[in-house]
Amino acid sequence: MMMRFGLPGGRGDLGGNGATSTVELARIAETLGYDSLWFTDGHLSSVGSRTVTSRPSPIPLAAAVAAATTRISLGFTALHLSMHDPIQLAADLATLDHLSGGRVILGIGWPVDAYAAAYRGGTEPAAADLPEALDTLLGYWRGRTRSAADGTQYRVGPIPLQQPHPPIEISPRSEESIIWAATRRHRLVLPAVTTTASIATCVALYTAHGGQASDIRIERFCLVAESDEAARERATPIVVRLTRRLA
């Protein structure tokens, strides 16, 4: 089985904060043979802390990249479906899938509870859970209608170019969510901070419930340098800062 490599498209090296734009970096990544670019959801930054940093709006950014590339896949790690209007999201993702020629990968996950509460203003009722939100989204793509007060029926459009829908990858938050992903035949994406032992546990659980190991994507931090010594020198301060933040 061939190993394929992707790059973060809305953070890290392709965050677009330097002199080279995200779109130009995407062109370079495609030329170098990378398989996919990944865009991150989240519009809020925590005040007085670097624990949470806002990201560029992922779907418009992915659309700009789609217009500048021809082959590289466009994924999300991960969209918080329950925090989006389902009709708008269904239309936006389907439009992006058409603009990109069917290159969208729908990565989805659960937001941190405190972040979700702040996003909703702290007083609004809790949003739908991810399985319910995903069923709603897929229902619109499958032709589910909406009823008006006068009885008129409306159908959400467009539908994605990829049928029946773009590939779905779940960023799990528990063993139960891994089992749910496996039984629904959704793919799995494991975050960069997952330990090797935890990855093995997740793979075993996923495959035990019908999932395929080849459908698991694993995020990892990677630093390329002239030598191992140079890589350690550059990476150590970054690892220390990240460890303190996660702690």
Q: What is the model's pLDDT at position 13?
A: 44
Angle at 10 between CA 8 and CA 11, to 5 degrees: 70
Q: What is the model's pLDDT at position 55?
A: 73
Q: What is the model's pLDDT at position 50?
A: 57
Give the chain's largest Cα–Cα span. 71
Contact 41, 55 (CB under 8 A): yes
**Integer Cα distance of 191 and 195 in angstroms:** 9
Domain locations in the chain as residue ranges: 6-171
Contact 173, 109 (CB under 8 A): yes
Q: Which fold has domain 6-171?
A: TIM Barrel (3.20.20)
Q: What is the model's pLDDT at position 14?
A: 52
pLDDT tens string, the chain, 247 residues long: the values are 678 899 886 544 455 454 458 888 899 999 999 999 999 887 666 676 556 666 778 899 999 999 999 999 999 988 989 888 999 999 999 999 999 999 999 999 887 766 666 666 765 555 568 999 999 999 999 999 888 888 899 899 899 999 999 999 999 989 999 999 999 999 999 988 788 999 999 999 999 999 999 999 998 888 888 999 999 998 898 888 877 877 7
Q: Which pairs with CB-CB distance under 8 Å and at least 24 residues apart come from 208-217?
A: 208/182, 209/178, 209/179, 209/182, 209/183, 210/182, 210/183, 210/185, 211/181, 211/182, 211/185, 214/1, 215/187, 215/188, 216/187, 216/188, 216/189, 216/190, 217/6, 217/169, 217/187, 217/188, 217/189, 217/190
Roughly how many angstroms between the first and final C-alpha of the chain, as a whole number?
36
Q: What is the model's pLDDT at position 17?
A: 53
How many CA atoms, within 13 angstroms, populate the side-chain half-sphere of residue 98?
Answer: 9
Q: Which of 210, 206, 169 has its CA nearest to residue 191?
A: 169
Amino acid found at 69 = T
Q: What is the model's pLDDT at position 8?
A: 80
DSSP type of residue 13:
G
